[in-house]
Amino acid sequence: MNLNVGYILLRNVHELPDKLAVIFEGKRYTYKAFNERVNRLANALLRKGVVKGDKVAYLLHNCSEFAEISFALSKIGALSVPINFRLKEEEIGYIIENSDASLLFFGPEFQEAVSKLLPRLNKVKKAIQVGETPEYEDLLDSSSPQEPAVLVLEEDEHSIMYTSGTTGSPKGAVHTHKSRIWNSLNMLVDTGLRGTDVFAITTPLFHIAAGHTMLLSTIFIGGTVVILRAFSLPEFFQVIQKEEVTAFFAVPTMFARILEHPQRNDYDLSSLRLLFTGGAVISVELKEQLMKAFPQATLDDLMGLTEGGPLTTFLPHREAFRKPESVGRAHFSQMVRVVNEKGEDVQGEEVGEIIVQGPAVMKEYYKNPEATAKALRNGWLYTGDLARVDEEGYQYLIVRRTDLIISGGENIYPAEVERVLLLHPGVKEAAAIGVKDKEWGERVTAVVVPKERQRLTEEEILSFCKERMAGFKCPRSVIFIDELPKNQLGKILYKELRNRFDFA
The domain boundary, picked from 153, 173, 204, lies at 153
The span from the CA of 363 to the CA of 368, in Å, is 12
The span from the CA of 450 to the CA of 458, in Å, is 11
Using one digit for the tens of pLDDT, what is the confidence trace for 118-158? 999 999 999 999 998 899 999 999 999 999 999 999 999 99
CB atoms closer than 10 angstroms to residue 65 = 23
The domain boundary, picked from 153, 174, 201, lies at 153
Residue 142 phi/psi, 5-degree rounding, is -95, 10
Identify the band that residue 166 occupies on the pLDDT scale cut at 50, 70 and 90.
Answer: very low
Residue 211 phi/psi, 5-degree rounding, is -70, -30
The mean pLDDT of 421-438, rounded to a whole number, is 89
Write the DSSP symbol of residue 195.
T
79 in a domain, yes or no? Answer: yes
Output the pLDDT for position 144.
96
User: Is it the case that residue 398 has pLDDT exceeding 80?
Assistant: no
User: Is it the case that residue 165 has pLDDT exceeding 80?
Assistant: no
Identify the band that residue 410 occupies on the pLDDT scale cut at 50, 70 and 90.
Answer: confident
Using one digit for the tens of pLDDT, what is the confidence trace for 252-310? 888 989 999 999 999 999 999 999 998 777 888 889 999 999 999 999 999 999 999 99
The span from the CA of 309 to the CA of 358, in Å, is 9
467 in a domain, yes or no? Answer: yes
CATH of residue 118's domain is 3.40.50.980
The domain boundary, picked from 112, 128, 153, lies at 153
Using one digit for the tens of pLDDT, what is the confidence trace for 210-221? 999 999 999 999
370 in a domain, yes or no? Answer: no
Question: What share of the chain has pLDDT > 90, as a percent?
Answer: 75
CA-to-CA dists, residue 411 to 88, 223, 351, 368, 403, angstroms: 16, 30, 22, 20, 11
The span from the CA of 488 to the CA of 46, in Å, is 56
Cβ 417 vs Cβ 475: under 8 Å: yes
424 in a domain, yes or no? Answer: yes
Residue 131 phi/psi, 5-degree rounding, is 95, 150
124 in a domain, yes or no? Answer: yes
82 in a domain, yes or no? Answer: yes
Output the pLDDT for position 488.
42
Identify the band that residue 74 occupies on the pLDDT scale cut at 50, 70 and 90.
Answer: very high
Cβ 135 vs Cβ 104: under 8 Å: no
Mean pLDDT (the chain) is 92
- Maximum C-alpha span of the chain: 73
Three-state DSSP at 462 gives helix
105 in a domain, yes or no? Answer: yes
CATH of residue 458's domain is 3.30.300.30
The span from the CA of 431 to the CA of 493, in Å, is 9
Per the structure, the complete domain to which residue 50 belongs is given by: 1-15+30-153
Instruction: Give the chain's domain count.
Output: 2
210 in a domain, yes or no? Answer: no
